[in-house]
């Protein structure tokens, strides 16, 4: 298996633009997580899906952030409009069944909003 | 303890030294405790998952213990090598600690 796949790996955009980050979990995994890593706050959970259904989105910073999982093999995290403070590395992870099982992380998307 | 806390924040040791660090987590509604190894410019990789009080896991020179009653876990590295340099994260369910950054000097 190729592991968790994220795209793009790097994104540079201007403030106010829409940004879409993509994730393909490991085939057969039922749980998917989006995290944001910053120097100040470390690794923060943004949202968690189980069987394509959002279970916990309490970590989503504000209405500018939205996430979808239309099927078991694809998820998106969208920021609209983007702001410089959104600059961070965004990780996607998946686990076989439940939230508390070992998570397998993708390579991350490094986002820079100018 | 409401959050997962790790100490120390960073650690510098000489090659060959043994070292250990601590993870504290809420002991109520506990399911599992994970340790991850996170090298710079890479993504976190799982080291251990422990679920039972008294669990001990070992992988090569690295081992971990778990005390669910008091809510802590220790990670030990015996005979540290430069390639052990990384940030070691612990996670209780979906809550991650800030990590311990280990630097092993040759």
| Chain segment B36-91, per-residue pLDDT in tens | 999 988 999 999 999 999 999 999 999 999 999 999 999 999 999 999 999 999 99
User: What separation in angstroms does the CA of A23 have from each of A91, B7, B93?
Assistant: 9, 32, 21
> pLDDT grade, residue B30 (50/70/90)?
confident
Calculate the average pLDDT of chain A.
Answer: 94
What tokens were used for A25? 């979990």
Contacts of B95 in chain A (CB under 8 A): 45
Chain A, 51 to 110: residues with Cβ < 8 Å from chain B are: 56, 91, 98-108
Contact B93 A99 (CB under 8 A): yes
Report pLDDT for B2: 58
Report pLDDT for A93: 96
Report pLDDT for A1: 63
**Residue A63, pLDDT above cutoff 70:** yes
Question: A22-55 burial by CB neighbour count: b if 16+ within 10 A, else e?
Answer: bbbbbeebbbbbbbbbeeeebbbbbbbbbeeeee
Q: What are phi and psi of A86, to 5 degrees?
A: -80, -10
Distance of alpha carbon A3 from the chain centroid: 15
3-state secondary structure of A84: helix
Contact B49 A42 (CB under 8 A): no
Among A105, A106, A110, the strongest candidate for a mutation testing the B interface, having the largest count of B CBs within 10 A, is A105
Report pLDDT for B66: 96
User: What separation in angstroms does the CA of B35 have from each of A59, B7, B48, B49, B94?
Assistant: 22, 14, 5, 7, 12
């Amino acid at each position: 298996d190729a592991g968790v796949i994220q795209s793009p790996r790097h994104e540079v955009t201007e403030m106010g633009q829409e940004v879409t980050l993509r994730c393909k979990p490991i085939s057969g995994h039922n749980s998917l997580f989006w995290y944001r890593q910053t120097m100040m706050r470390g690794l923060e959970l943004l949202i968690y899906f189980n069987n394509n259904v959002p279970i916990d989105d309490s970590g989503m910073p504000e209405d500018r952030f939205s996430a979808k999982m239309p099927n078991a093999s694809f998820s998106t995290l969208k920021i609209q409009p983007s702001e410089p403070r959104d600059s961070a590395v965004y990780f996607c992870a998946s686990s076989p069944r439940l939230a508390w099982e070992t998570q397998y992380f993708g390579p991350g998307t490094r986002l820079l909003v100018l | 303890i409401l959050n997962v806390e790790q100490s120390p924040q960073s650690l510098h040791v000489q090659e060959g030294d043994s070292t250990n660090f601590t993870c504290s987590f809420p002991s109520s509604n506990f399911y599992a405790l994970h340790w991850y190894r996170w090298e710079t410019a890479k993504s976190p990789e799982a080291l251990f998952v422990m679920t039972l009080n008294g669990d001990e896991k070992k992988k090569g020179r690295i081992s971990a213990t778990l005390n669910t009653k008091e809510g802590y876990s220790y990670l030990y590295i015996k005979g540290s090598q430069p390639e052990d340099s990384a940030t070691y994260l612990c996670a209780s369910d979906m809550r991650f600690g800030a990590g311990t950054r280990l630097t092993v000097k040759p």
